[in-house]
Structure 1
Amino acid sequence: MGSAAAQIARALGADTVYGTVGSSDKAEYAKRFGYDAVFPREDFLGAVRDATGGRGVDVVLDPVGGPMRLASLEVLAPFGRVAFYGEAARHPDLNLPLLPLWKNNRALTGYNIGDVSRRAPDLLRTHGLAALGLVASGSGHIDVTDILPLAAAAQAHERMQAGRNVGKTLLAV
C-alpha cells in the first residue's frame, strides 16, 4: 500500500511525503514512488520530528497498528490526523487517551473498505475509479514484481507475513 499511498498523496497535491519501511533494505525501493524520505519504522518518530523541524506532519496513514499507531499520534502537526486502514501487526486494540487529541488539535479516523463496500458501494466505486484513473493517466504505477501460480498462494502469504515481499505479487489463475 505504501507505494500507492505516496503516488496518491502527490496526485492530491502533497508537498512533502515521508514513508516508513519495516526493514532498511526496502528504503531505496520505496523512494521510487515519490517519497521525499523513507525511514525505518522503528526510528520514524524521531526522524519525522527532525525532518519537520518539530512541526510534525498533517496526515499519517497507518496500516500497522499497535505501538506504531500511538507513535503516529505523537508526530502530528496541529490539526493533523492519523487515518488507519488496517491492523497488519495484529496487536490488541488500543485504549487511547482522548484528552491529548483534543489538547493538541489532533484527530484519528479509520477507513475500512469492507464497511464502505457494504454501506456505500457507490463511494467505493468512486474511490476505485479515481485510483485506477491515476494508473491510466500515467500518474500512478503498480509495480508487479512477481507472478506466482495459484498453487503458490501459501508461499506468497508467508513472504508477506515475514515482510520479505517488495512490490506486488500476483497469483496467476
Structure 2
Amino acid sequence: MLVHAAAGGVGSVAAQLARSLGAAAVYGTVSTKEKAEYASRFGYDEVFLRDGFPDAVREATSGRGVDLILDPIGGPTRLASFEALAPFGRVAVYGEAARHPDLHLPVLPVWKNNRALTGYNIGDLSRRDPEALRRHALAALGLVASGAVRIDIMAECDLADAAEAQRLLEAGENTGKAVLRVGR
C-alpha cells in the first residue's frame, strides 16, 4: 500500500491501520525530507519524496507496484499513482488537497492494465449510509483505544483560531493531526 501525504493527520494513522489489518508493506510519499523523517515514525517501510514516486515504488516492490494507493492530493499526483499500481490495484481518493482541476482520466489504460479508481467521502457516507460510517468509526476508534494505533496531535488551536489552522493545512505546513479546542 502507498499513502500520499504520509506525514499528515490521516497519513500518520493510515500506516498504523494498514499494519493492524495485516498489510505486508506500507509506503508513503511526502513533500519534504523533514516530513519523511516525521512520517517514518508510524510504521512505513519507506517514505519517498513525491517527485518521482512511481519509479521509487516500482523499485521498492521489484517492479510489481502496490495494491492500494490512498490519495488526498489529486491532480498530477493522482494521475501518476496509476503508474505505481500492481495488477488489480486501485487508487482510493479521499480528498483534493492540491486543488487541481478534476482529472480527465483516460479509461483504456486503466482497463488494459487491470487498475481501478474508487473514492471515500465521509460527508456523503454520513448522509446516505450513517450506519456504515458508524461501523467504520467504531472499528478505527477501537484500534486507537487498544493502543494499536496512535494519533499524533501536533497542533491544538482555539476555535477562534480556526482560520489560522485552516491556512496551515492548505499550505501543507502541518504534520500529524491538528485539532480545534471547543470549550474547556
Cα deviation, residue 72, structure 1: 0.5
What is the TM-score normalised by the length of structure 2?
0.91
Cα deviation, residue 43, structure 1: 2.5
- Aligned partner letter, 2:103: L
- State how 1:7-156 maps to structure 2 within 5 Å: 7-156=16-165
- Aligned partner letter, 2:19: R
Measure, in 1, the Cα distance between the counterparts of 2:14 and 2:118: 16
- Aligned partner letter, 2:117: L
Measure, in 1, the Cα distance between the counterparts of 2:175 and 2:159: 19
Cα deviation, residue 157, structure 1: 1.4
Measure, in 2, the Cα distance between the counterparts of 1:37 and 1:114: 31
Cα deviation, residue 146, structure 1: 2.0
Match of 2:176 in 1: 167
Measure, in 1, the Cα distance between the counterparts of 2:154 and 2:104: 38
- Aligned partner letter, 2:11: G
Unaligned runs of 5+ in 2: 1-9
- Aligned partner letter, 1:112: N
**What are the superposed Cα offsets for residues 42-66 of structure 1, whole Å, 9 maximum, x if unpaired?**
1211111111111111100111011
Q: Does 1:6 align with 2:15?
A: yes
Measure, in 2, the Cα distance between the counterparts of 1:164 and 1:69: 20
- Aligned partner letter, 2:66: V
> How many pairs does the alignment contain?
173
Unaligned runs of 5+ in 1: none
**What are the superposed Cα offsets for residues 95-114 of structure 1, whole Å, 9 maximum, x if unpaired?**
11111111111111111111
Cα deviation, residue 143, structure 1: 0.5
SS class of match (2:42): coil
- Aligned partner letter, 1:77: A
- Aligned partner letter, 1:30: A
- Aligned partner letter, 1:3: S
SS class of match (2:18): helix
User: How large is the RMSD of aligned CA atoms in angstroms?
Assistant: 1.0
Identity between Structure 1 and Structure 2 (%): 68
Q: Which runs of 4+ in 1 moved over 3 A?
A: none
